[in-house]
Amino acid sequence: MRKLRKDEPCWCRSQKPYGECHAEFDKKIEIYRKKFHKVPPRSIIKNEFQLEKMRESAKINIAVLDYVGEHIRAGMTTEEIDRMVYEKTTAMGGIPAPLNYEGFPKSVCTSINEQVCHGIPSSSVELVDGDIINVDCSTILDGYFSDSSRMFCIGNVTPENRRLVDVAKECVELGLKQVKPWGHLGDVAQAVNDHARANGYSVVREVGGHGIGLEFHETPFVSYVIKKGTGMVMAPGMVFTIEPMINMGSADIYIDENNGWTIYTDDEKPSAQWEIMVLVTETGYEVMCY
Ligand code: MF3
Ligand code: CO
């Protein structure tokens, strides 16, 4: 890559001179690269304009999840959740990102009990007392993406399942606390994994978080099975999701061959997931949506 002069426009398209923008950043990145750390490509470093657009998108995503939370109840079908997500997202000027994404047929993922993720809303699936469900919402606003998910407990959930939901939330929040510039994604992963295992649970290996912003899924893949001090270096301007799937039993999963999407636990024990979209800042992190 050609070296920019200090007075040239920065590569991040901020329109600021390079010397006042990412010159110091690049020096820091170079130090890590020379030590053979995996460093983020420039293409995933967001500028202030892009971040502002993503915050607007994220506001819709949060409002949609709030709206679902106010209305979700036993007796409702997951198709009705899908309709709520579609209506609320579009009323606010957004587009549900899952709709038609690589052929996904609905506006939201609804994953109940032993479904790990990518459950497809259906008029034949009715929420019943005791269900735990993940509602995973993603929004596009003016081409900028946001993504977060929450668990909902339907009526009287067993203490065992409620604990799974609570610990899964603790896991994602402990991971979040590890987000800081010049740390590693492995710091996040290990915090998540250690807490899950300390509670007797396992963490899904094959599916994880992702960079996000200009596209739904950008590099890096955010794993929860790598170790502290390994994985990509976190740098200011990076945005990614932390969305570990925590299984009550074994970490093994399989994919529904009929729809090609829905992932289940192998042992049919329940799984829980919360998802946070986070920005790495100069001093730590900013939660963009949760
Ligand atoms: N938030 C989920 C993910 O990042 C949403 C997937 S949407 C789907 O994996 F369309 F791919 F299902
Ligand atoms: Co996601």
Question: For the chain, what are the domain ranges?
Answer: 38-289
Contacts of 73 (CB under 8 A, 6+ apart): 127, 154, 155
Instruction: With residue 218 as reference, give the H or E element that holds it.
Output: strand 218-222
Atom of ligand 1 nearest to the CA of 217: 4
Ligand 1 centre distance from Cα of residue 98 (Å): 6
| Vertex 285 angle, CA 164 and 203, to 5° | 25
If you average pLDDT over every residue of the chain, what do you get? 98
Name the token pair of 32: 């890590």
The span from the CA of 138 to the CA of 277, in Å, is 10
Indicate if ligand 1 lies below 6 Å from the C-beta of 82: no
Asked if pLDDT for residue 1 goes beyond 80, the answer is: no
Give the model confidence (pLDDT) of 162-201 as tens digits: 999 999 999 999 999 999 999 999 999 999 999 999 999 9
Indicate if ligand 1 lies below 6 Å from the C-beta of 147: yes
Give the model confidence (pLDDT) of 18-35 as tens digits: 999 999 999 999 999 999
Write down the architecture of domain 38-289 according to CATH: Alpha-Beta Complex (3.90)
| Vertex 122 angle, CA 214 and 249, to 5° | 80
Give the model confidence (pLDDT) of 136-158 as tens digits: 999 999 999 999 999 999 999 99
If one residue of 118, 245, 277 were mutated to test the ligand 1 pocket, choosing by the most ligand atoms within 8 A of its CB, it would be 118
The residue among 127, 135, 125, 136 whose CA lies nearest residue 155 is 127
Give the model confidence (pLDDT) of 257-285 as tens digits: 999 999 999 999 999 999 999 999 999 99
What is the residue with the minimal CA distance to atom 10 of ligand 1? 98
Atom of ligand 1 nearest to the CA of 136: 1
